[in-house]
Amino acid sequence: MASNGIRDRVAIVGMGCTPFGEHWDKSTDDLLIDASQEALASAGVPLDDIDAFWLGTMGSGQSGLTLSRPLKIDYKPVTRLENFCATGSEAFRNACYGVASGAFDVAMAIGVEKLKDNGLSGLVGIPGRTDGTQVDLTAPAMFSLLAPAYAKKYGVTDEEMKEVLTRIAWKNHYNGARNPRAQFRKEVAKETIACSPLVAGPLGIFDCSGVSDGSAAAIIVRAEDAYRYTDKPIFVKALSFVAGPAAGPISPDYDYTTFEEVSRSAADAYRQAGVTDPRNELAMAEVHDCFTPTELVLMEDLGFAERGTAWKEVLAGTYDLEGTLPVNPDGGLKSFGHPIGASGLRMLFEAWLQLRHEAPADRALRTVSEEGRTLAMTHNLGGAPGECVSFVSIVGSELSA
Amino acid sequence: MSRGIVAYGAYLPHYRLGRAAIGSALGSGGGKGTRSVASYDEDTTSMGVEAARVALAAAPGAAPMGVYFATTAPAYLDKTNASTIHAALGLDTAALAVDMLGAVRSGIGALRAAVDASAPTLAVLADVRTGLPGGADERDGGDAAIAFLMGSGEQVVAELVAAASASSEFLDRWRVPGESHSRVWEERFGEQAYVPLVEQAVADAVKQAGIAADAVDHVVVAGTHARVVRRVQAMLGAGEDFTATIGNTGTAHAGLLLADALDRATPGQLIALVSVADGADVLLLRATDALPALQARNAASVAALVAGTAAEVDYATFLTWRGVIRREPPRRPDPFRPESPAAYRGRDWKYAFVGSRCTACATLHLPSQRVCVQCGAVDQMAPESLAGRTGRIATFTVDHLAYTLNPPVVVTVVDFEGGGRIQCELTDVDPATVAIGQPVEMTFRRLYTAGGVHNYFWKARPARAAAQA
């Protein structure tokens, strides 16, 4: 019994990603058509060449018909799946396995979410227990629990913590300002971020990811077929996904300063990919910065910083566009926006651009162009501190020796 | 064998409204002093649960076989509210649970039915008193609950010596079902109708007991007609009635004053409870040698609760909580209606705050789990109630986005003494004062009402013992 991975067995040969934002003029169908058409054009294949589809959406449609109806897919398998905020990544993971297994030659993974049409503020979840005993906690409130716990454990003052969280939001806005597809494309002054109206705990409006509509898609083929489609394929090095026992909210052992699910999935992914020093081997990481404290804690869970030191690394600029390990170079959930089902594939889209030297010059990574690093990570988590699912992928522009 | 009171518990909500605030807002009316105010997450059922929990805590090992619940402000009609109290207290399924609803006199009915019962029985009296803005009922009313455990034998702390009543039909105070407020007749008419009834009931009680009228040591008088109550208080030499501070708490008030008298009585003393509500009722009780021990066990006296620290609520908030003012809600989904079968399956958890402890590794789970989170043992669980246990805040947050009648929502992670953790709301608290490590205790609340269903569950509140220490 082992998680063996499928290193270098499949490759991405085409991708598409709609701009994320408030698409009042586009339906779920429109977004799916836009993302899939861009991905097909990118791979240079017609729709008919796709043998199977995996569609990720949390709540913007049910069943494979959500995709087959707008695209007019001719009697092909379409799997619709959901795994909280890792939904898009989960579509990608399963499509990769579909190809790696030999069952299909060409697969499409696509994610979509239409969040803005409901007219409500913030993200709206689906009730779990129906006996009325679950506390009605909004997403920012859940993740804000991390901040005081982290600060207390590592002796960080409230003022320092605010500075750290502010800098994470500032960095992601800085990156998003260099991304024409991002929901928020303006740099935001640190003072503005720090003084924004409080939403939950120490978190202000600017500590929260953008609620938006969007879609992203990838075309996946066997690695040996990849160069028939593109001279710059992106190979899948690792795919890891874990669901935890959700012990945090019921176990006093959990201290709200870590995501065990993330540590486990990262370790699995590094093993699959043969990565031993992620901070110096990865060219970039797209991580699940749903709220600023989440990104802080992830830096430690993903092995980018020693325990208790990520806050100093953040302040030192380690994860900036020009830093040792750029994190969320496309602006992240914070600035690119977070249409749930699309986010995981949006992260891959940035890896696709950066590793292929196709990112716009003002956010092209030095780690790629100067240091010649060839690996990128994408990471999602879904749920809440102490009870979440976590996905980690590592992709690369070269086949391993 | 003598029957009477075995234990009692009083509950006053955390909030008070200054009567002057009414005058400030409306330009007239108001007055001096304060009234007690049930919080936005309380109703007569939840306050009744809190009072009964206090009473049962003072009577370890008691197993009530009945609950009589009296109120003028029931949370439900055509559905028994006493069964919610029964469930929250974790009583035997064989116990009777019955409501006595509609008028203040129902409280006397509950007391008499409980004391007359053949097995230990709870009488729970609760009220939320309101009236139209600017009116006397709004100003002079109050919210509270009181519970008495009645029984027999050596544990009785006050035995019933006499019970007398005088009934007569007349319209003094009334309300048609569905209306938000009561109407009252011209008050001198009520005075003329009530006083002879009181005189008759008092004379009857004294005669039944075979005592001289002036042999009574403590007289308490409560009722629905302020002028008559004042006159009878003067006539019988009654003591403090707390209305200046907490208001007239309707169905609960006579019981509250009786509890206060029990707090102060010494063995052998006689206590007369006189209620003036749609007739006159007198209960005559004699304190037994068991009373001092109960007084020592009781966490707080009624007088201490009345005088204790309470939070001031402003008039607009008070009107919002009572549903008089409808405020713009946040752009969030409406709370969903709890599903009856799910609530039924989880009734021990939802109503009685019962979790499970793994019999293999002793890990405590809230709510109960079938598979142990620590050792993975399957179906090796023993139920365990944590309703009476204190905990400490492990971490918390203040949620400005979540829907509530009293923003912001304070959410805490509570770790209990002896194991177990829950994420839940913290109530009766100023968000600015919450701190990691703060001691808390659990309280039964109405979280919200959706689709005509009241969603009852537990919240944490700052530990009262700690606050008083």
Helix (H) or strand (E) holding B386: none
Q: How far apart are the first and last CA of chain A?
A: 26
pLDDT band at A122; cut points 50, 70, 90: confident
Say whether residue B366 is in contact with chain A using an 8 A CB cutoff: yes
Domain A1-116+139-401 belongs to what topology? Peroxisomal Thiolase; Chain A, domain 1 (3.40.47)
Strands laid side by side in the B354-358 sheet: B364-365, B354-358, B381-385
The distance of B309 to chain A (nearest Cα, Å) reads 27
Is residue A324 exposed (0-12), middle (13-18) or buried (19+ Cβ within 10 Å)? Answer: middle
Interchain pair A130, B402: CB under 8 A: no
Taking the C-alpha atoms of residue A76 and residue A339, their distance in angstroms, rounded to an integer, is 26
User: What's the rounded mean pLDDT across residues B129-154?
Assistant: 96
Give the start-to-end residue ranges of the domains of chain B.
3-321, 340-468
Residue of higher predicted confidence among A126 and B345 = B345
User: What's the rounded mean pLDDT across residues A84-97?
Assistant: 98
User: What pLDDT shows up at residue B330?
Assistant: 77
3-class secondary-structure state, position B12: coil
User: What pLDDT shows up at residue B468?
Assistant: 43
ipTM of model: 0.89
pLDDT band at B240; cut points 50, 70, 90: confident
Kindly give the pairing relationship between strand B218-223 and strand B270-276. parallel
Give the closest of A131, A149, A198 to B350, CB-based.
A131
Taking the C-alpha atoms of residue A325 and residue A316, their distance in angstroms, rounded to an integer, is 12
* Per-residue pLDDT tens over the stretch A147-164: 999 999 999 999 999 999
Of the residues A129, A135, A152, the best mutation for testing chain B's interface (the one with the most B CB atoms within 10 Å of its CB) is A135
Give the start-to-end residue ranges of the domains of chain A.
1-116+139-401
User: What's the rounded mean pLDDT across residues A8-12?
Assistant: 98
Q: Rounded to two decimals, what is the model's pTM?
A: 0.94
Taking the C-alpha atoms of residue B379 and residue A90, their distance in angstroms, rounded to an integer, is 32
User: What pLDDT shows up at residue B119?
Assistant: 96
User: What's the rounded mean pLDDT across residues B428-440?
Assistant: 95
Interchain pair A121, B399: CB under 8 A: no
CA dihedral sign of residues A182, A188, A194, A196? negative
Where helices occur in B308-459 by DSSP H, the ranges are 315-321, 340-345, 347-352
pLDDT band at B467; cut points 50, 70, 90: very low
User: What's the rounded mean pLDDT across residues B75-102?
Assistant: 98
Q: What is the largest CA-CA distance in chain B?
A: 73
User: What pLDDT shows up at residue B466?
Assistant: 47
Say whether residue A121 is in contact with chain B using an 8 A CB cutoff: yes
Chain B residues 397-426 with a CB less than 8 Å from chain A:
397-403, 409, 411, 413, 415, 419-425
User: What's the rounded mean pLDDT across residues B160-178?
Assistant: 97
DSSP state of B390: -
Say whether residue B378 is in contact with chain A using an 8 A CB cutoff: no
- HEC string of chain A equals CCCCCCCCCEEEEEEEECCCECCCCCCHHHHHHHHHHHHHHHHCCCHHHCCEEEEECCCCCCCCHHHHHHHCCCCCCEEEECECECHHHHHHHHHHHHHHCCCCCEEEEEEEECCHHHCCCCCCCCCCCCCCCCCCCCHHHHHHCHHHHHHHHHCCCHHHHHHHHHHHHHHHHHHHCCCCCCCCCCCCCHHHHHCCCEEECCEEHHHECCCCEEEEEEEEEEHHHHHHCCCCCEEEEEEEEEECCCCHHHCCCCCCCCCHHHHHHHHHHHHHHCCCCHHHHEEEEECCCCEHHHHHHHHHHCCCCCCCCHHHHHHHCCCCCCCCCCECCCCHHHHHCCCHHHHHHHHHHHHHHHHCCCCCHHHCCHHHHCCCCCEEEEEEEEEECCEEEEEEEEEECCCCC
User: What pLDDT shows up at residue A125?
Assistant: 66
Peptide bond into A180 cis (omega under 30): no
Of the residues A116, A161, A205, A250, the best mutation for testing chain B's interface (the one with the most B CB atoms within 10 Å of its CB) is A250
* Per-residue pLDDT tens over the stretch B8-27: 999 999 999 999 999 999 99
* Per-residue pLDDT tens over the stretch A19-77: 999 999 999 999 999 999 999 999 999 999 999 999 999 999 999 999 999 999 999 99
Peptide bond into B292 cis (omega under 30): no
Q: The tokens of A157 are what? A: 């003052």
CA dihedral sign of residues B293, B294, B299, B303? negative
User: What pLDDT shows up at residue A54?
Assistant: 98
pLDDT band at A134; cut points 50, 70, 90: confident
Interchain pair A251, B447: CB under 8 A: no
Amino acid letter for position A166 = T
User: What pLDDT shows up at residue A2?
Assistant: 86
3-class secondary-structure state, position B130: coil
Q: What is the CATH number of domain B340-468?
A: 2.40.50.840
How big, in percent rounded to 5, are the helix, strand and coil portions of chain B?
30, 30, 40
Kindly give the pairing relationship between strand B15-18 and strand B311-312. parallel
pLDDT band at B469; cut points 50, 70, 90: very low
Interchain pair A136, B366: CB under 8 A: no
Interchain pair B367, A130: CB under 8 A: no
Query: Can you spell out the DSSP letters for B199-215?
Result: HHHHHHHHHHHT--GGG
Residue of higher predicted confidence among A126 and B302 = B302
Give the closest of A131, A137, A256 to B342, CB-based.
A131
- Comparing C-alpha atoms, which of B10, B70, B23, B29 is closest to residue B304? B10
pLDDT at B286 over 90: yes
Domain B3-321 belongs to what topology? Peroxisomal Thiolase; Chain A, domain 1 (3.40.47)
CB B75 within 8 A of CB B81: yes
Residue of higher predicted confidence among A187 and B337 = A187
pLDDT at A15 over 50: yes
Residues in chain B: 469
* Per-residue pLDDT tens over the stretch B376-390: 999 999 999 999 999
Q: The tokens of B59 are what? A: 């009577």
- In degrees and rounded to multiples of 5, residue A78 shows phi and psi of -130, 115
Interchain pair B367, A152: CB under 8 A: no
